[in-house]
Structure formats: C-alpha cells, structure tokens
Structure 1
Amino acid sequence: MKSPEGGVSVIVRAGDYESVHYALALAAAALAVNKPAVLFFTMAGIRALEGPPPALADWHRDAVNRKVGVGDFETLLAACVELGARFIVCEMGLRSLGIDRAGLRRDVPFTVAGIVTLLEETKPGMHLVTL
C-alpha cells in the first residue's frame, strides 16, 4: 500500500537520455519506498515511449550505464510499470509533435491526458519535478 504522504510527479519534457533516465530512476525510487509516482511525458519526452529503442539523444549512454552496473532504461521502465507508476502522455505534446499514439509502446500502461490531469494526480505533499 502506498503511503498517503510524499511521492513525486515528474514532468518528462526533455528528449535526451539523461533526463528520461533520471525521471525513471526518481520514480522507481519513490515507488520502492511506497510513495506514489506519476510520470507525465510531454513534448520531446514523449519520444521515450517510442521504440524500443526510444528516439532519445545520447542513447549510447544506456550501454555505458549497463556496463558500469547502473540501471538501464528498460530495467527502470519495467520497474516503474511493475511497481505501479502512473504514466500520462500529454495530448497537447502528441498533437504539437504530430506523434500518433499508436506508435507508442504497448507494454507501458499510459493514459493520454493533459496538464489538468497531471495536477489532479499530484496529491498534496507530492513533489512536482520537471526534467
């Protein structure tokens, strides 16, 4: 059972590996200590849910992370899914970039919604972070 206090809502708007990787790590850490986590993918951050592999700048960093024992993209993404992160894909971002939701990963249970939904899902006491 998730703790009613704390947790994170992360706005994933950057399309680079480092930003998306850290967003997943932050959400996975919150979930591991029974805090809720919301991942809101918008603009270039939506590219993280394309693929695999996702169309992210600096993707080579994933192999480097794996080699040095740092959780890689797929491991962190799977942990977030398994631990119950709430995934939201921004409808405005999809439209703005002309991305078809049918091209997004099917193994990630996401909802297409907007900023209002993000704010509703960010409960009192949760931290709102943008990466």
Structure 2
Amino acid sequence: MTASGATLGIVLLDGSHAHAHFAFSMAAGAAAMDRTVVLFASGAGLEALCLDWSGLADAGHDRVLVDRGVAGLDTLREAALTLEVRLLACEAGLRGGSIEPGRLLEAVEVSGIASFLEAVAGGQIVSF
C-alpha cells in the first residue's frame, strides 16, 4: 500500500468493546484513506486481538450495533486486515495477562513497545 500522510499509530489498552470498536473503526478508516496504520494492543486491550474477543467488557453490545446497521467488531477487524493494518500485541502485556499467543489472530505480531514506536516514528499516535 502506498501511504499518504503520516503513519497512524493506535494504542489500545482498554478492554472495553466500545474502545476496541472505535480503535478498529479508526484503523480501517485511516487505512481506507491510504494511510499506513499500526495498532498496538496491551493490557486488557489484547482481548480485541484474540480470535475469540468475547473477553472484552460489554462484548454483547456488538450484537446491538449490528442489529442497528453498524459494522460489528468482526467486520471492522476483517476490514483492517484486508487494508493491511499492522496488528501488534505487546509481549509484556501477553505475559502479564497470561494470554497465550495462540489465542491471537494469525496476522498479529508479538512485539515490544520499541517496535511500535519505530513503526510510527514521525507519525501520529492516539490511544484508547
């Protein structure tokens, strides 16, 4: 993908469905605008990178959104992957939360904060 504009780094620390949903909305939206996007999750936010994200707080709210015609988290994650959003899981966060890397989406890279900062050097960073 040819990126236009600065790289967008998204940090997802919160484990709520609302934060994960918005982080993936922003990631997919920016990538659709041809921006390079890197999403780095740690802490409770790692649940959003798991194959089964039902560990997110208020995960059931996704059904409400879908019933109202809003893209659900599965759709947003698929869009982000299709648009080549880079997904990073914090290695220390995985250890601290006793989350096995095998629970993560296949496309997720396990890395440290230094890798994230290097990937978004000179770009914008938002956190959820």
TM over 0.5: yes
User: RMSD across aligned C-alpha pairs, in angstroms?
Assistant: 1.3
State the Cα distance separating 1:4 from its structure 2 match.
4.4
2:117 match: secondary structure: helix
CA–CA separation in structure 2 for the residues paired with 1:53 and 1:25? 16
Alignment of 1:1-131 (within 5 A): 1-106=1-106, 109-124=107-122, 126-131=123-128
Residues 8-43 of structure 1: CA deviation (Å, up to 9, x unaligned): 110111100000000000000001110111010101
**Structure 1: stretches of 5+ with no match in the other structure:** none
How far residue 98 of structure 1 moved from its aligned partner, in angstroms, is: 1.2
Does structure 2 retain, via aligned residues, the 8 Å contact 1:7–1:30? no
- 2:69 is paired with a residue whose SS is coil
TM-score normalised per structure 1:
0.91
Gaps of 5+ in 2: none
Rounded Cα–Cα distance in structure 1 between residues aligned with 2:99 and 2:12: 16
**Where has structure 1 moved over 6 Å in runs of 4 or more?**
none
Calculate the TM-score normalised by the size of structure 2: 0.93
Letter of the 1:128 partner, please give it: I
Query: Secondary structure of 2:46's partner?
Result: helix
